[in-house]
Amino acid sequence: MLIMKHHVKNVELTGRADLHMHTTVSDGIATVAAMLDHVAKRGELDVIAITDHDRLEASLWAYAHRDRYPFEIIPGLEVTTRDGHVLALWCTDPIAEGMSLAETCSAIHDQGGVAVLAHPFEPTIAPKASWRYFRQPQVLVESGVDAIEVFNAGAFTPGNNWLAGLVFKNSPLPFVGNSDAHMPASVGTGITHFRGKTADDLRTSLKHGWTAAEGKPWGLTVYLKLSLIMIPKKLNGSLETNAPSARPTLT
């Protein structure tokens, strides 16, 4: 397990959160109910967030049914911006795609949400933005980012988690770690440790920098399984991440 601590000193981090996972509403292969049931069965997480790409249906379903589960659920989504992907946590209204990083963070904050830059050095997503963050890491603070995902268990390009920890080691922004799970088996492969146990505790920890990122990359079998499922869907034109059906399957 890789553990990335930032400016955490003399603070006990007892909480465990995974704030980045996908369902069939975007490009995951399990329904939101299946993902939540798996989290409950594992019993290792205190707080989770369902963050489908630019879609809220699964996240809002999870949040509406949060009393069914022995962990806390934060509503949110993963927003596609011109400058990469941003996790919009504690958000319940849609956020427009294609805005700048600063505009997206502003829209998140308008909802009282928290903006987390996801996998900042994944060149397959936003290479120009990644280069900008490498050369000018302070731009994240200037744009209104609240935290940085320095460990993403599903990171495709080798070394980008290591690079994030190195480049942002002097940043005032807190670190988070997430699984980016697209199937139940990957949930919890990336973890954000925080002070306390509840979603409110997590939010306070993000505000004060009381977090640490931990995780291990997805196993090869996970990549293979996802490839075997997703490639035929893309070839058949049935993967509708950009134009999904009006009634996505949730259960």
Tens-place pLDDT, residues 111-140? 999 999 999 999 989 999 999 999 999 999
Domain 13-236 homologous superfamily, CATH: Metal-dependent hydrolases (3.20.20.140)
Q: Which residue has the higher pLDDT, 1 or 245?
A: 1
% pLDDT > 70, the chain? 88
Residue with tokens 């989770």: 48
Characterize the bridge pairing of strands 175-178 and 147-152: parallel
Average pLDDT over residues 71-80: 98
Quote the longest CA-to-CA distance of the chain: 54
Q: Is residue 180 left, alpha or beta, with left meaning phi > 0 and alpha meaning psi from -120 to 50? A: left
Every domain of the chain and the residues it spans: 13-236
Q: Which residue has the higher pLDDT, 3 or 19?
A: 19
Tens-place pLDDT, residues 176-203? 999 999 999 999 999 999 999 999 999 9
| Residue 101 binned pLDDT confidence (cut-offs 50, 70, 90) | very high
Residue with tokens 């949110």: 76
Does pTM surpass 0.85? yes
Tens-place pLDDT, residues 139-157? 999 999 999 999 999 988 8
Tens-place pLDDT, residues 9-61? 778 999 999 999 999 999 999 999 999 999 999 999 999 999 999 999 999 99
For the cut 60, the answer to whether the pLDDT of residue 82 exceeds it is: yes
Sign of torsion over alpha carbons 153, 244, 117, 188:
negative
* Dist CA 198 CA 227 (whole Å): 35
